[in-house]
Structure 1
Amino acid sequence: MANTSLRKASLQSMEAEIESLLKSLENLKSDASDESLKTLKSLKGNAENALRHSRSLLSDAYEEVKVKTRETGIATRDYAQQHPWTTTGVAVGALGLLAAYLLCKRSR
Protein backbone atom coordinates (compact mmCIF):
# COMPACT_ATOMS: atom_id res chain seq x y z
CA MET A 1 0.00 0.00 0.00
CA ALA A 2 2.78 2.38 0.82
CA ASN A 3 4.25 1.62 -2.56
CA THR A 4 0.96 2.61 -4.25
CA SER A 5 0.75 5.90 -2.38
CA LEU A 6 4.33 6.68 -3.37
CA ARG A 7 3.49 6.01 -6.99
CA LYS A 8 0.43 8.29 -6.77
CA ALA A 9 2.51 11.04 -5.22
CA SER A 10 5.19 10.53 -7.82
CA LEU A 11 2.64 10.63 -10.66
CA GLN A 12 1.03 13.75 -9.21
CA SER A 13 4.44 15.35 -8.90
CA MET A 14 5.27 14.44 -12.52
CA GLU A 15 1.91 15.80 -13.70
CA ALA A 16 2.55 19.05 -11.83
CA GLU A 17 6.02 19.31 -13.39
CA ILE A 18 4.62 18.64 -16.87
CA GLU A 19 1.89 21.26 -16.39
CA SER A 20 4.52 23.72 -15.14
CA LEU A 21 6.66 22.95 -18.17
CA LEU A 22 3.68 23.45 -20.51
CA LYS A 23 2.89 26.80 -18.88
CA SER A 24 6.53 27.83 -19.20
CA LEU A 25 6.50 26.85 -22.88
CA GLU A 26 3.30 28.84 -23.48
CA ASN A 27 4.87 31.89 -21.79
CA LEU A 28 8.02 31.45 -23.86
CA LYS A 29 5.94 31.21 -27.03
CA SER A 30 4.02 34.35 -26.08
CA ASP A 31 7.24 36.23 -25.28
CA ALA A 32 8.81 35.10 -28.55
CA SER A 33 5.72 36.23 -30.45
CA ASP A 34 5.85 39.62 -28.77
CA GLU A 35 9.55 39.93 -29.57
CA SER A 36 8.92 38.88 -33.17
CA LEU A 37 6.16 41.49 -33.49
CA LYS A 38 8.49 44.17 -32.13
CA THR A 39 11.20 43.13 -34.58
CA LEU A 40 8.70 43.06 -37.43
CA LYS A 41 7.43 46.54 -36.55
CA SER A 42 11.01 47.80 -36.42
CA LEU A 43 11.78 46.28 -39.82
CA LYS A 44 8.59 47.74 -41.26
CA GLY A 45 9.50 51.19 -39.92
CA ASN A 46 12.98 50.94 -41.42
CA ALA A 47 11.55 49.88 -44.79
CA GLU A 48 9.07 52.77 -44.77
CA ASN A 49 11.86 55.24 -43.95
CA ALA A 50 13.99 53.86 -46.78
CA LEU A 51 11.04 54.14 -49.17
CA ARG A 52 10.39 57.75 -48.17
CA HIS A 53 14.08 58.59 -48.63
CA SER A 54 14.15 56.90 -52.06
CA ARG A 55 11.04 58.78 -53.17
CA SER A 56 12.64 62.03 -52.08
CA LEU A 57 15.83 61.27 -54.02
CA LEU A 58 13.86 60.25 -57.12
CA SER A 59 11.74 63.36 -56.91
CA ASP A 60 14.86 65.54 -56.74
CA ALA A 61 16.45 63.67 -59.67
CA TYR A 62 13.23 64.00 -61.70
CA GLU A 63 13.12 67.75 -61.12
CA GLU A 64 16.76 68.08 -62.17
CA VAL A 65 16.21 66.04 -65.35
CA LYS A 66 13.10 68.07 -66.13
CA VAL A 67 15.00 71.35 -65.82
CA LYS A 68 17.96 70.07 -67.91
CA THR A 69 15.59 68.74 -70.60
CA ARG A 70 13.80 72.07 -70.80
CA GLU A 71 17.12 73.93 -71.04
CA THR A 72 18.34 71.57 -73.78
CA GLY A 73 15.12 72.01 -75.72
CA ILE A 74 15.39 75.77 -75.54
CA ALA A 75 19.06 75.69 -76.58
CA THR A 76 18.23 73.38 -79.51
CA ARG A 77 15.39 75.63 -80.66
CA ASP A 78 17.59 78.69 -80.44
CA TYR A 79 20.39 77.00 -82.40
CA ALA A 80 17.95 75.81 -85.06
CA GLN A 81 16.59 79.35 -85.43
CA GLN A 82 20.05 80.87 -85.68
CA HIS A 83 21.46 78.21 -88.07
CA PRO A 84 18.56 76.85 -90.18
CA TRP A 85 20.69 75.45 -93.03
CA THR A 86 23.05 73.60 -90.69
CA THR A 87 20.09 72.15 -88.83
CA THR A 88 18.51 71.02 -92.12
CA GLY A 89 21.77 69.40 -93.22
CA VAL A 90 22.12 67.50 -89.95
CA ALA A 91 18.51 66.31 -90.14
CA VAL A 92 18.90 65.12 -93.76
CA GLY A 93 22.17 63.37 -92.85
CA ALA A 94 20.51 61.58 -89.93
CA LEU A 95 17.63 60.46 -92.16
CA GLY A 96 20.14 59.23 -94.77
CA LEU A 97 22.00 57.17 -92.16
CA LEU A 98 18.74 55.69 -90.92
CA ALA A 99 17.64 54.79 -94.46
CA ALA A 100 21.05 53.21 -95.23
CA TYR A 101 20.90 51.16 -92.03
CA LEU A 102 17.40 49.92 -92.80
CA LEU A 103 18.34 49.02 -96.41
CA CYS A 104 21.44 47.12 -95.28
CA LYS A 105 19.45 45.29 -92.63
CA ARG A 106 16.74 44.39 -95.11
CA SER A 107 19.18 43.00 -97.69
CA ARG A 108 20.65 40.50 -95.22
Structure 2
Amino acid sequence: MARKTPVSSSSDQLLDEFQALVRDTESLLQHSASLAGEQAEALREQIRGSLGRARSTLHNAEDALQARGKAALEATEGYVQTHPWQTLGIAAAIGLLLGMLITRR
Protein backbone atom coordinates (compact mmCIF):
# COMPACT_ATOMS: atom_id res chain seq x y z
CA MET A 1 0.00 0.00 0.00
CA ALA A 2 1.39 3.40 -0.99
CA ARG A 3 2.33 5.68 1.86
CA LYS A 4 1.02 9.23 1.67
CA THR A 5 3.96 11.61 1.99
CA PRO A 6 3.73 15.35 2.59
CA VAL A 7 4.94 15.94 -0.96
CA SER A 8 2.34 13.67 -2.56
CA SER A 9 -0.33 15.26 -0.37
CA SER A 10 0.84 18.70 -1.46
CA SER A 11 0.87 17.65 -5.10
CA ASP A 12 -2.67 16.29 -4.74
CA GLN A 13 -3.76 19.59 -3.19
CA LEU A 14 -1.99 21.50 -5.95
CA LEU A 15 -3.72 19.42 -8.62
CA ASP A 16 -7.10 20.04 -6.96
CA GLU A 17 -6.43 23.78 -6.79
CA PHE A 18 -5.47 23.96 -10.46
CA GLN A 19 -8.53 21.94 -11.46
CA ALA A 20 -10.70 24.37 -9.51
CA LEU A 21 -8.92 27.27 -11.18
CA VAL A 22 -9.55 25.78 -14.62
CA ARG A 23 -13.23 25.21 -13.78
CA ASP A 24 -13.58 28.80 -12.55
CA THR A 25 -11.86 30.15 -15.66
CA GLU A 26 -14.09 28.08 -17.94
CA SER A 27 -17.10 29.36 -16.04
CA LEU A 28 -15.92 32.94 -16.48
CA LEU A 29 -15.44 32.44 -20.21
CA GLN A 30 -18.86 30.83 -20.64
CA HIS A 31 -20.72 33.45 -18.64
CA SER A 32 -18.68 36.54 -19.42
CA ALA A 33 -21.04 37.74 -22.12
CA SER A 34 -24.18 37.43 -19.99
CA LEU A 35 -22.86 38.65 -16.63
CA ALA A 36 -23.47 42.14 -15.39
CA GLY A 37 -20.76 44.14 -13.66
CA GLU A 38 -21.35 42.93 -10.09
CA GLN A 39 -21.70 39.27 -11.10
CA ALA A 40 -18.57 39.43 -13.23
CA GLU A 41 -16.61 41.00 -10.38
CA ALA A 42 -17.76 38.25 -7.98
CA LEU A 43 -16.60 35.58 -10.42
CA ARG A 44 -13.26 37.36 -10.91
CA GLU A 45 -12.76 37.45 -7.12
CA GLN A 46 -13.51 33.73 -6.95
CA ILE A 47 -10.89 33.08 -9.64
CA ARG A 48 -8.37 35.31 -7.86
CA GLY A 49 -8.96 33.34 -4.66
CA SER A 50 -8.47 30.03 -6.49
CA LEU A 51 -5.29 31.33 -8.09
CA GLY A 52 -3.97 32.52 -4.72
CA ARG A 53 -4.65 29.13 -3.12
CA ALA A 54 -2.98 27.36 -6.04
CA ARG A 55 0.09 29.59 -5.74
CA SER A 56 0.26 29.00 -2.00
CA THR A 57 0.01 25.24 -2.44
CA LEU A 58 2.67 25.36 -5.16
CA HIS A 59 5.03 27.26 -2.85
CA ASN A 60 4.38 24.77 -0.04
CA ALA A 61 5.09 21.84 -2.37
CA GLU A 62 8.28 23.53 -3.56
CA ASP A 63 9.43 24.07 0.03
CA ALA A 64 8.69 20.43 0.90
CA LEU A 65 10.62 19.19 -2.13
CA GLN A 66 13.57 21.40 -1.28
CA ALA A 67 13.58 20.14 2.30
CA ARG A 68 13.46 16.50 1.17
CA GLY A 69 16.21 17.12 -1.38
CA LYS A 70 18.41 18.77 1.23
CA ALA A 71 17.83 15.88 3.65
CA ALA A 72 18.69 13.36 0.93
CA LEU A 73 21.85 15.30 0.05
CA GLU A 74 22.96 15.44 3.68
CA ALA A 75 22.28 11.72 4.14
CA THR A 76 24.24 10.90 0.99
CA GLU A 77 27.17 13.07 2.03
CA GLY A 78 27.16 11.48 5.47
CA TYR A 79 27.21 7.98 3.99
CA VAL A 80 30.00 8.84 1.55
CA GLN A 81 32.10 10.33 4.33
CA THR A 82 31.63 7.36 6.66
CA HIS A 83 31.89 4.63 3.98
CA PRO A 84 34.23 5.93 1.25
CA TRP A 85 35.37 2.50 -0.01
CA GLN A 86 31.86 1.11 -0.28
CA THR A 87 30.80 4.23 -2.14
CA LEU A 88 33.71 3.86 -4.54
CA GLY A 89 32.78 0.21 -5.12
CA ILE A 90 29.14 1.06 -5.78
CA ALA A 91 30.11 3.85 -8.18
CA ALA A 92 32.49 1.52 -10.03
CA ALA A 93 29.82 -1.20 -10.31
CA ILE A 94 27.28 1.27 -11.67
CA GLY A 95 29.84 2.57 -14.15
CA LEU A 96 30.64 -0.97 -15.26
CA LEU A 97 26.96 -1.82 -15.75
CA LEU A 98 26.32 1.37 -17.70
CA GLY A 99 29.37 0.69 -19.84
CA MET A 100 28.17 -2.82 -20.60
CA LEU A 101 24.70 -1.57 -21.50
CA ILE A 102 26.09 1.12 -23.80
CA THR A 103 28.42 -1.28 -25.65
CA ARG A 104 25.62 -3.82 -26.22
CA ARG A 105 23.99 -1.51 -28.74
Task: Please report the TM-score for the alignment, with normalisation by the length of structure 1.
Answer: 0.59
Question: Counterpart in 2 of 1:38?
Answer: 38
Assess, with a 3 A threshold, how the Cα gap between structure 1 residues 65 and 35 changes in structure 2: closer, same or farther: closer
Question: Counterpart in 1 of 2:66?
Answer: 66
Gaps of 5+ in 1: 1-32
Shift of 1:51: 0.8
Question: Counterpart in 1 of 2:21?
Answer: none
Residues in 2 aligned to 1:77 and 1:67: alpha-carbon distance in whole angstroms: 15
Matches within 5 A, 1:9-20: none
Question: Counterpart in 2 of 1:94?
Answer: 94
Residues in 1 aligned to 2:69 and 2:90: alpha-carbon distance in whole angstroms: 20
The two structures, once aligned, show a CA RMSD in angstroms of 1.9
Shift of 1:47: 1.2
2:42 aligned with 1:52, yes or no? no
Which structure is richer in relative contact order (CA contacts within 8 A, separation 6 or more)?
A: 2
Question: Counterpart in 1 of 2:79?
Answer: 79
Residues in 2 aligned to 1:94 and 1:44: alpha-carbon distance in whole angstroms: 54
Over 6 Å off, 4+ runs: none
Q: Of Structure 1 and Structure 2, which has the larger fraction of its residues in helix?
A: 1
| Larger CA Rg, structure 1 vs 2 | 1
Residues in 2 aligned to 1:58 and 1:103: alpha-carbon distance in whole angstroms: 42
Residues in 2 aligned to 1:35 and 1:75: alpha-carbon distance in whole angstroms: 57
Question: Counterpart in 1 of 2:13?
Answer: none
Structure 1, 36-45 or 78-87: larger mean CA deviation? 36-45
Report % sequence identity. 25
Shift of 1:34: 8.2
1:36-92 Cα deviation digits (max 9, x unpaired): 333322222111111100111111111111111111111111100111111001111
